[in-house]
């Protein structure tokens, strides 16, 4: 939920840190701070967006080439300056991403021993524990190790000691943490974009790892045992620019336009039209594995859950294996019926969503085989599942998920075809038809964006609405849910997604001339029934915005606005129909002037339950 960064090298640490934090702001932006060792510990913190901290540092720079920094999304303690990280106690400065589960007991113990707390945060406990160990003669590495032995919960921490001025010590448990390997400089960060402008050589730390970072490099050990351990250095292909806005006004708009490329990259190397098959060996499931499965349970949150709802249709139609789709936050509290004959499929863009990670671990505890569809390499969910199929969407910085969503559906499409071919429930010809449709999607997504170049005019007409309904049937019901989520999370306009067939069971009472309904109605199996819904709404003077086939004169005559998409197939319709809904939400939010990339109260990666 927060972003941390650490640096040791030859550059001015404060500059490196602020630049890195800028690329981590999507992880939270209640406050930010830096600590630099130069003689003493120089601390600077500011509430609100990172620009407040940057302004303070521009006015009064801090010199020094060893430092740590933090951008916060509050979990314990209000967003105030005293609660901002880094937390300095005695010789020590600490930044932390995560939650200390036993913070109350530890705080009481420390206070009883005379420690005085300056903040309401759980993080400050680390500072006291480490400072206390240092005063007892420990090295910084030993002191951090001692602290991890007392703390329970999720953490990625970076620690400085004013008396050991050549190193940063880090530790990782459940929260993400990577190292960046430079020439005469070493970095740590919560995520890759923070360091990409300095190095592409990255090391993914595992739970239970700690590391000592110096100008010469790094040494990794297990904090429970102290044993040294090697972790591979991965060369990351993402360019620093790829994590920038690329000329678009917002990351979200850039990422909407990146979807064609992202879907292409997710398909790349995994499809054989000739054989009518899919190659995703990394998922590690054989025909026998699948035959032994009684059912599949997809677990996810938010937009990823919507992708799972689409994936249910794909996988059930291709394999005839029952698929349930569970909200991860609900899954583990319902005493789920899970055993070794259950295949769990966790879907997560960040790979760090606490609810999804916890549900995944609970399912594994109950004996399930677990695979994951994840976008961020080396993330916790990716490393917890037995196998992972990566979407290749690249960094998704906008809090509102777009390219992650369409690449998740693409991955589920591939999985469904592969499973069907493995089980023999999908023959090569039918698979070839499905795959031919899939490889057309990148072009159809680009076309959908082109066809809606004038969508801002539609947004203008509806910019003063205070509530909206989204409808879809079958494979398009999840798209209605997703369209509604996009609108509410970035424009703050209330919106609800419904199965179109549900209208007569209640929601139609909401229809009036002030409440527009957005309907997904490309030609396909449920087109006629959806058209009836459209007419029922129009008859009650409800404005109708319909996402339908370009040139569909019937729809144009019925709707107040047609958001055109290329003609496509039932399976690929979700991937294409969502595009105008993403753009409509974006332009409505932009007209309202909301903070589209960092909407209020939200963060990109929800790493707390
Ligand atoms: C989507 O626009 C939201 N930002 C949110 O619902 C998100 O999909 C959800 O938090 C799940 O995140 P994940 O895919 O990283 O697990």
Say what the pLDDT of residue 602 is: 87
Residue 400 Cα: closest atom of ligand 1: 2
Q: Which of 2, 188, 301, 531 is catalytic?
A: 2
Total-model pTM = 0.72
Ligand 1 centroid to Cα of residue 169, in Å, is 31
> What are the φ and ψ backbone dihedral angles of 24, each rounded to 5 degrees?
-110, 0
Q: Which residues of the chain have pLDDT under 50?
A: none
- Which of 606, 607, 609 for a ligand 1 pocket mutation test, highest count of atoms within 8 Å of Cβ? 606
Angle at 233 between CA 229 and CA 239, to 5 degrees: 150
- The answer to whether 604 is a known catalytic residue is yes
Contact status, residue 307 vs residue 575, Cβ threshold 8 Å: no
Contact status, residue 42 vs residue 35, Cβ threshold 8 Å: yes
Q: Would strands 186-189 and 201-204 be described as parallel, antiparallel, or unpaired?
A: unpaired
Query: Which protein residues touch ligand 1 with a CB less than 6 Å away?
Result: 301-304, 348-350, 353, 356, 399-401, 489, 605-606
Q: Whose CA is nearest to atom 5 of ligand 1?
A: 302
Cα torsion for 51, 54, 55, 60, to the nearest 10°? 170
Say what the pLDDT of residue 243 is: 58
Q: Whose CA is nearest to atom 6 of ligand 1?
A: 302
Say what the pLDDT of residue 603 is: 81
Question: Which residues 6+ apart lie within 8 Å of 553 measured at CB?
Answer: none
Ligand 1 centroid to Cα of residue 302, in Å, is 5
Contact status, residue 88 vs residue 44, Cβ threshold 8 Å: no
Structure tokens at 509: 């009472």
> What are the φ and ψ backbone dihedral angles of 340, each rounded to 5 degrees?
-70, -10
Cβ neighbourhood burial of 560 (10 Å; 0-12, 13-18, 19+): middle
Helix (H, G, I), strand (E, B), or coil: what is residue 443?
helix
Structure tokens at 183: 């020439």
Ligand 1 centroid to Cα of residue 303, in Å, is 5
Structure tokens at 161: 């000691």
Ligand 1 centroid to Cα of residue 306, in Å, is 10
- Which of 251, 349, 399, 408 for a ligand 1 pocket mutation test, highest count of atoms within 8 Å of Cβ? 349
What angle separates helix 403-423 from helix 259-267, to the nearest 10 degrees?
Answer: 30
Say what the pLDDT of residue 6 is: 98
Distances in Å between the Cα of 227 and the Cα atoms of 30, 144, 157, 222, 230 are 37, 14, 19, 6, 10
Residue 302 Cα: closest atom of ligand 1: 6
- Which of 303, 411, 479, 489 for a ligand 1 pocket mutation test, highest count of atoms within 8 Å of Cβ? 303
Ligand 1 centroid to Cα of residue 600, in Å, is 15
Residue 404 Cα: closest atom of ligand 1: 14
Ligand 1 centroid to Cα of residue 472, in Å, is 21
DSSP 91-154: TEEEEEEEEETTHHHHHHHHHHTT----SS-STHHHHHHHHHHHHTT--HHHHHHHHHHH--EE
Residue 606 Cα: closest atom of ligand 1: 10
430-459 pLDDT, tens per residue? Answer: 999 999 999 999 999 999 999 999 999 999
Ligand 1 centroid to Cα of residue 298, in Å, is 15
In the chain, the domains with their CATH numbers are 3-242 (3.60.20.10), 251-439 (3.40.50.10490), 452-592 (3.40.50.10490)
Structure tokens at 325: 């789709």
Distances in Å between the Cα of 185 and the Cα atoms of 156, 195, 423 are 20, 11, 51
- Which of 251, 299, 304 for a ligand 1 pocket mutation test, highest count of atoms within 8 Å of Cβ? 304
The partner residues of 300 in beta bridges, in order of sequence, read 327
Residue 605 Cα: closest atom of ligand 1: 15
519-529 pLDDT, tens per residue? Answer: 999 999 999 99
Q: What is the DSSP letter of 228?
A: B
């Amino acid at each position: 939920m927060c972003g941390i960064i650490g640096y040791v090298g030859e550059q001015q640490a404060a500059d490196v840190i602020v630049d890195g934090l800028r690329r981590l702001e999507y992880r939270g932006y209640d406050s930010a701070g830096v600590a630099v060792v130069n003689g003493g510990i120089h601390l600077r913190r500011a509430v609100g967006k990172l620009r407040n901290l940057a302004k303070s540092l521009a006015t009064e720079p801090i010199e020094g080439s060893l430092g740590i920094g933090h951008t916060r999304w509050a979990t314990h303690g209000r967003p105030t300056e005293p609660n901002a990280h880094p937390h300095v106690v005695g010789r020590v400065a600490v930044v932390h991403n995560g939650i200390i589960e036993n913070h109350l007991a530890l705080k009481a113990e420390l206070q009883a021993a005379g420690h005085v707390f300056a903040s309401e945060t759980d993080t400050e406990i680390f500072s006291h524990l480490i400072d206390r160990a240092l005063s007892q003669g420990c090295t910084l590495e030993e002191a951090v190790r001692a602290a991890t032995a007392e703390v329970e919960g999720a953490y990625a921490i970076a620690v400085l000691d004013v008396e050991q001025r050549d190193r940063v010590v880090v530790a990782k448990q459940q929260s993400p943490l990577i190292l960046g390997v430079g020439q005469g400089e070493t970095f740590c960060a919560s995520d890759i974009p923070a360091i990409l402008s300095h190095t592409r050589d990255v090391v993914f730390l595992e739970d239970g790892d700690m590391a000592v970072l110096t100008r010469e490099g790094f040494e990794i050990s297990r904090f429970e045992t102290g044993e040294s351990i090697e972790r591979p250095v991965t060369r990351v292909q993402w360019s620093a620019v790829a994590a920038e806005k690329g000329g678009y006004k917002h990351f979200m708009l850039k990422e909407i336009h990146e979807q064609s490329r992202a879907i292409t990259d997710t398909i790349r190397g995994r499809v054989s039209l000739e054989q009518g098959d899919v190659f995703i060996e990394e998922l590690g499931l054989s025909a026998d594995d699948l035959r032994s499965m009684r059912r599949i349970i997809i677990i996810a949150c938010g937009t990823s859950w919507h992708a799972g709802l689409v994936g249910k249709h794909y996988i059930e139609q291709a394999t005839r294996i029952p698929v349930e789709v569970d909200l991860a936050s609900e899954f583990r509290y319902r005493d789920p019926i899970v055993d070794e004959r259950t295949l769990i499929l966790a879907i997560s863009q960040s790979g760090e969503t606490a609810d999804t990670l916890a549900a995944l671990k609970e399912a594994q505890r109950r004996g399930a085989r677990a695979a994951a569809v994840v976008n961020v390499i080396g993330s916790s969910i990716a490393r917890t599942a037995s196998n992972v199929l990566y979407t290749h969407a690249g960094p998704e910085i906008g809090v509102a998920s777009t390219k992650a969503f369409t690449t998740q559906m693409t991955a589920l499409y591939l999985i469904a075809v592969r499973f069907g071919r493995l089980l023999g429930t999908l023959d090569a010809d039918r698979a070839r038809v499905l795959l031919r449709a899939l490889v057309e999607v990148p072009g159809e997504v680009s076309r959908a964006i082109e066809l809606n170049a004038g969508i801002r005019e539609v947004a203008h007409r509806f910019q003063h609405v205070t509530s909206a309904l989204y409808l879809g049937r079958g494979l398009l019901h999840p798209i209605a849910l997703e369209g509604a989520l996009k609108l509410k999370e970035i424009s703050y306009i209330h919106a609800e997604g419904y199965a179109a067939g549900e209208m007569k069971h209640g929601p139609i009472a909401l229809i009036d001339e002030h409440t527009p309904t957005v309907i997904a109605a490309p030609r396909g199996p449920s087109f006629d029934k959806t058209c009836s819904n459209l007419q029922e709404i129009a008859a009650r003077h409800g404005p109708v915005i319909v996402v339908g086939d370009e040139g569909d004169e019937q729809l144009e005559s019925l709707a107040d606005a047609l958001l055109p998409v290329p003609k496509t197939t039932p399976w690929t319709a979700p991937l294409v129909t969502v595009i105008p809904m993403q753009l409509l939400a974006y332009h409505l939010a932009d007209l309202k002037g909301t903070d589209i990339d960092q909407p209020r109260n939200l963060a990109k990666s929800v790493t707390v339950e």
